Structure 1
Amino acid sequence: MSLSESIVRAAPAGPPEPPGAAERVLPLRRPARWIAGAVVLVLVAQAGHGLLTNPFYQWDRFAYWFLRPVVLEGMWITLQVAAYSALLGLAGGVLLALGRLSGNPVLRSVSWTYVWLLRSVPLIVVLLFLNNLSALYPTLSIGVPFGPAFFSFDESRLATDTIVAVVGLSVVEAAYAAEVVRAGLLSVDQGQHEAAAALGLPRRYQFTRIVFPQALRAIVPAYVNLLIGLVKATSLVFYVSLLDLFGTVQGLGSTYPGDVVPLLLVATVWYVILTSVLSAVQYHVERYCARGALRSLPPTPLRRARAGLEELRGRYRKEAAR
């Protein structure tokens, strides 16, 4: 064998492997996490077992009442009251927030007083006060203060149960929404205002196209929390004789005292469904408002599930190949 042939045979077939490449990297063991997870799973399993097997819940009666027309009618009233109150409350909140940020001392003082007063009074007091408003003001009129009235109308005919409920929820919701909107507007960097003003843009254009879209990223999560609270607060309209979901369940519980617990479970499940829908809407609205602020939008839950399945398949294939 020549010297050249021995050198060729001794040379490695490919590039040298980095040190430690043949060694398998083992993940860090975390026994505390596994123990905590096992304890939580045991507790959840026990709670679920008790919930499903306890005869006191009467799940057969729950299934009977869940989709009854009378319950669905109360559900529809709850949706209507919540939707109208949310729209009016948001519109009022935007106006109050702009008033609090205004340079006009009258608007700023009136807006601050409104927010302070309506956040201090319980909602049930506002509803009961509006429900008995006809006793204080039988006739409402519009005209010159301390002067002649242009026209007047009977308050008792105008203030139906639905209107009283919507107005009561809206005026209170507007006070809380005002602070949410104001906080969102203040979260926009001052440089954005200065840059828009330097470009000579009109004030209305600055607000609608530059300031408010950026403020939505801070407004949406907090305002959806208000909406969830508003949906649950509709249960108080029962006290103004409006049979919403909770009022219907309350009335049925008085008629059928043996079904009180399953009826309460019916109301609970429907409220959970409503708040879950709002949470899903919140996620997609937040994702939409995040455009331009993030380099890449966060994946949706469906995409995360698909990515997780693909990762599990990849691990299974690697284990099978070994």
Structure 2
Amino acid sequence: MTAGSPQSPRPDRPADAETNPDPIRAIPLRHPGQWISAVVILILAGLFVYGAATNEAYRWSTYFDYLFDTRIIEAAGWTLALTVLAMILGVVLGVLFAVMRLSSNMVLRSVAWLYLWVFRGTPVYVQLVLWGLFGSIYKQIDLGIPFGPQFFHIDVQSINAAFLFAVIGLGLNEAAYMAEIVRAGISSVNEGQSEASVALGMTWTQTMRRVVLPQAMRVIIPPTGNELISMLKTTSLVTAIPFSLELYGRQRDISSLNFQPIPMLLVASTWYLAVTSILMIGQHYLEKHYSKGASRMLSDDQLAELARAETIEGGR
């Protein structure tokens, strides 16, 4: 071959092999430790299940007898009602106190800080006990003019408001935590978004509703879902008020009659797990909805649209 003459492709390779090399065949590393640990875990899990199935202390016959008992199902309904109502109260008050914390008004900031300091600094069980003693602390509530006519009067000791006090106690405690969650979500949005909205002529309410909150939901939804699940389990503490119609209180009442607390605790745990699983599924889809546009990975619809655009471009 003379100098300066073009090189001819190798006779044993196709002509396009010079520009399209063979793909690299990567062989993944083997991890025998994963398989060994999986086998060990399965063996231990199998031994535990076998031991639990053959242990007479669990009283599985009693467990299945009460799993779908009407009293347990009714208690699950009361537990859901407590959870939903307390979370609604907590979210509404949490948004209010979060806005107060971010306000430029020193009085509003101080009131919000004091509220969070008190309700986050004391145990929720102690707060519920105090709500149970509300009738002893305030025997009656009167609103009106001192030494004058009374416009409003309630004899607290004459009413049975255990469920109401349970919702208020759980909701007020939850509001302190939701305020910090909402404040963190709002603070995560760039201030330039708010400034641009104001420059476009939006009011503060429109800016929060159309610009800030939709972006802040990516940060707010995950911890709020965790708080909802935690609230479901915290309802077991309302027996301090006392309110015993929810799951834990009802199973405790039944076990005090049949003297079998272990299977009854398993029944309540099963219902807690079932409801929690449903809430976790809902949380997953909410996070997926509000995370649109936050991930760099294209969705199936976006990939299909991109492929269609490339096909049209290639046909021109």
TM-score band w.r.t. shorter chain = 0.7 to 0.9
Aligned to 2:163: 162
- TM alignment of 1:165-314, pairs within 5 A: 165-243=166-244, 244-257=246-259, 259-296=260-297
Structure 1, unmatched stretches of 5+, are: 1-9, 300-322
Query: Using the alignment, how far apart are the partners of 2:136 and 2:220 within structure 1?
Result: 39
* 1:188 positional shift: 1.1
- Check whether the contact 1:291–1:297 (CA below 8 A) recurs between aligned residues: no
Deviates more, 1:290-299 or 1:56-65: 290-299
Query: Using the alignment, how far apart are the partners of 2:233 and 2:84 within structure 1?
Result: 13
Q: What's the CA shift string for 1:85-118, capped at 9, x where partnerless?
A: 0101110111011111111111110111001101
* 1:79 positional shift: 1.0
Query: Using the alignment, how far apart are the partners of 2:119 and 2:52 within structure 1?
Result: 40
Query: Using the alignment, how far apart are the partners of 2:106 and 2:291 within structure 1?
Result: 35
Structure 2 SS opposite 1:33: helix
Q: What's the CA shift string for 1:16-54, capped at 9, x where partnerless?
A: 657984996432222222222222222222223223332
Amino acid paired to 1:253: S
Aligned to 1:92: 93
- Check whether the contact 1:290–1:297 (CA below 8 A) recurs between aligned residues: no
Query: Using the alignment, how far apart are the partners of 2:23 and 2:176 within structure 1?
Result: 66
Aligned to 1:35: 36
Amino acid paired to 2:49: G
- Check whether the contact 1:130–1:164 (CA below 8 A) recurs between aligned residues: yes
Structure 2 SS opposite 1:151: strand
Q: What's the CA shift string for 1:255-294, capped at 9, x where partnerless?
A: 111x211101001111111111111111000011112323
Amino acid paired to 2:56: P
Aligned to 1:125: 126
What RMSD, in angstroms, separates the aligned Cα atoms of the two structures? 2.5
- Check whether the contact 2:132–2:242 (CA below 8 A) recurs between aligned residues: no
Aligned to 1:302: none
Amino acid paired to 1:120: G
Structure 2 SS opposite 1:294: coil
Q: How many residues align?
A: 289
Amino acid paired to 2:135: S
Deviates more, 1:21-30 or 1:260-269: 21-30
* Distance change in 2, residues 1:292/1:16 (3 Å): closer
Aligned to 1:3: none
Amino acid paired to 1:164: F
Deviates more, 1:14-23 or 1:181-190: 14-23
- Check whether the contact 2:133–2:241 (CA below 8 A) recurs between aligned residues: no
Structure 1 SS opposite 2:189: coil
- Check whether the contact 2:60–2:263 (CA below 8 A) recurs between aligned residues: yes
Structure 2 SS opposite 1:140: strand
Amino acid paired to 1:43: L
Structure 2 SS opposite 1:40: helix
Deviates more, 1:40-49 or 1:115-124: 40-49
Amino acid paired to 2:205: R
Amino acid paired to 2:104: G
Q: What's the CA shift string for 1:177-216, capped at 9, x where partnerless?
A: 1111111111112221222222221110000111011111
- Check whether the contact 2:132–2:165 (CA below 8 A) recurs between aligned residues: yes
- Check whether the contact 2:75–2:247 (CA below 8 A) recurs between aligned residues: yes
Structure 2, unmatched stretches of 5+, are: 1-9, 301-316
* Distance change in 2, residues 1:144/1:275 (3 Å): farther
* 1:61 positional shift: 1.3
Structure 2 SS opposite 1:153: strand
